[in-house]
């Protein structure tokens, strides 16, 4: 199983990363440090997570060379219009205390995404950002974005797990040389996923945890994963997945778990778009 994947701009991205969504800032430095020490080289944060500063501190105080770490952050919707994207990119660099960002994503497919994307393209040319992509976009939105802009997204970060495998989107993204990246690769512990009989049986057969099986299943599909945990043993466990080789029969069993429904459902409803588009975060650019 490969540990990195080549993006369409030639950069190598780690297949297993550490996500810091909903981790309080005062805890973030400690857990990111633990993740780095356990072998993670992809760290995923966002302006809206309000913990970029702590992520940057952990990276800067690590003994690991900066060029070995793949740092992802995201712009929030409130910064998509006018000259706000440029200010937001500089603000992220300042909060992270970094000279560059490896991957910058549009966090949601709403607001003035074209204005923000073109500012991100300029940031790539200026050397502030190495690669750019999107998060929570439907494939038709990715298609539209790349048809009317210069730089093609390298990644679409969406919810992907055995109960919501996003088969059509994963196939389309890979067919267009865009890497699918899974947030919530263990289903955010929804719908009894950790006690699912099929996954429990497969986990026992491999002497692994259910979480490890879910991560390996995504990796074998060419999907990057960014599991999150604040528990040291779980952080270590989630990185110990590269020796898992699922059989065709096991993959077929997991395929039967598709519920054709994301727990993050309703994103495309007017109510949800209004709520997310109106959400403001108090961070300093």
Neighbour count for residue 71 (Cβ, 10 Å): 23
Catalytic residue (choose from 40, 49, 100, 263): 49
The span from the CA of 25 to the CA of 199, in Å, is 33
Cβ-based burial of 131 (10 A; exposed 0-12, middle 13-18, buried ≥19): buried
- 40 catalytic? Reply is no
CB 146 within 8 A of CB 168: no
Residue ranges in the chain assigned as alpha helix (H): 25-37, 52-61, 84-96, 113-125, 139-147, 167-175, 197-206, 210-220, 232-239, 248-255, 270-278
CA gap 184, 34 in Å, rounded: 20
Helix (H, G, I), strand (E, B) or coil at 107: coil
Positions annotated as catalytic residues are 49
């Amino acid at each position: 199983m490969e540990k990195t994947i080549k993006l369409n701009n030639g950069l190598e991205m780690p297949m297993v990363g550490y996500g810091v969504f909903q981790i309080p800032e005062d805890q973030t430095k400690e857990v990111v440090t633990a993740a780095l020490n356990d072998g993670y080289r992809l760290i995923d944060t966002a302006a809206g997570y309000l913990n970029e500063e702590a992520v940057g501190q952990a990276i800067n105080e690590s003994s690991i060379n900066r060029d070995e770490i793949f740092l992802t952050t995201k712009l929030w919707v409130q910064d998509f219009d006018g000259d706000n994207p440029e200010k937001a990119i500089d603000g992220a660099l300042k909060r992270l205390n970094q000279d560059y960002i490896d991957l910058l994503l549009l966090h949601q497919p709403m607001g003035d995404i074209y204005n923000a994307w073109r500012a991100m393209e300029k940031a790539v040319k200026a050397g502030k950002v190495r690669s750019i992509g999107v998060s929570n976009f439907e494939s038709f939105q990715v298609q539209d974005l790349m048809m009317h802009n210069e730089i093609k997204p390298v990644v679409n970060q969406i919810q992907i797990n055995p109960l919501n495998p996003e088969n059509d989107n994963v196939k389309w993204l890979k067919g267009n040389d865009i890497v699918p990246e899974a947030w919530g690769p263990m289903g955010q512990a929804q719908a009894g996923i950790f006690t699912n009989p099929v996954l429990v049986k497969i986990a026992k057969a491999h002497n692994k945890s259910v979480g490890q099986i879910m991560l390996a299943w995504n990796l074998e599909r060419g999907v990057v994963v960014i599991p999150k945990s604040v528990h040291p043993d779980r952080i270590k466990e989630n990185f110990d997945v590269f020796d898992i080789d699922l059989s065709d029969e096991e993959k077929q069993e997991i395929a039967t778990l598709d519920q054709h429904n994301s727990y993050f459902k309703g994103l495309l409803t007017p109510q949800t778009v209004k709520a997310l588009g109106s959400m403001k975060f108090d961070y300093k650019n």
